Amino acid sequence: MAKTKKPTHTPSLPFPPVPDALHQEGHWLWIPLRKEWRDVSAKPEEVVRQKFIRTLVEHYGYTLEQMDQEQRTQHGHRSPRADIVIWQSVDDRTAKRFPVLVVECKTDTIEIQERDYYQAASYTVASGCEIFIATNQRHTAVFKLVARTPGEFVAINEIPKASDWGDAKRLKEVLDSLRAFNRKEFQDLLFVCHSILRDVHKMDPGRAFDTIS
């Protein structure tokens, strides 16, 4: 497919009025945080990133002025870049204070792996943040770092909204709401455990069931 010419105009709105849509012309995608068009023909993760930025704005109440993308977590050209970084306020961003959220995005054709969580967690620690998100558009996971335990994190139920940061009680509820297994995840875990006991430890099905119980 032939590539289209890079657009020269600037959209009047960061996102189209159509729900969940992005400004895109051929291979070119509008990047609101950079105010530029980018060729995303070989960068499907950029589409995921921009869709998630729109989600953060429209569903969680953050503003584009609170965000940045491809932000280095430390000084120096070799420091890692975080896909999306969010500060509590525009003033915090301007003053280069610690952000409140770090997001790692993957293309929606790639399953989120545990190493992706650790990558996002390393970005979070380096930036002085406490909460990180890993998303591939189809699946989004939210974690908070465990205080004074390097490399440890736990899943929580929801992404804090922009308004939560000014409400200490509400923010504590969000951070303390550890994520519970849903029925499908619990069934899958039981199946894996049962298979290990049966196939690796050579237990008969009845004994494997009793052991899990």
Mean model confidence pLDDT for the chain? 85
186 with 172: CB under 8 angstroms? no
Q: Which residues of the chain, if any, have pLDDT below 50?
A: 75-76
Q: Decide: helix, strand or coil at residue 8.
A: coil
Rg (CA), the chain: 21
pLDDT attached to residue 45 = 92
Q: Which two tokens stand for residue 123?
A: 């970005």
Pairing of β 28-31 and β 36-39: antiparallel
pLDDT attached to residue 110 = 75
Per-domain boundaries in the chain: 45-180, 181-213
Mapping DSSP onto H, E and C, the string for 123-188 reads HHHHHCCCEEEEECCCCEEEEEECCCCCCCEEEECCCCCHHHHHCHHHHHHHHHCECCCCHHHHHH
pLDDT attached to residue 12 = 96
For the domain made up of 45-180, the CATH class stated in words is: alpha beta
Residues 6+ apart with CB under 8 A from 175: 131, 144, 156, 160
pLDDT attached to residue 73 = 63
- pLDDT, tens digit (0-9, with 9 covering 90-100), for 95-105: 988 999 999 89
pLDDT attached to residue 36 = 97
Pairing of β 101-105 and β 131-135: parallel
Q: Decide: helix, strand or coil at residue 94.
A: helix
- pLDDT, tens digit (0-9, with 9 covering 90-100), for 175-209: 888 765 555 656 666 777 777 878 877 888 778 77
The sheet with strand 153-156 has its strands ordered as 67-72, 81-86, 101-105, 131-135, 140-145, 153-156
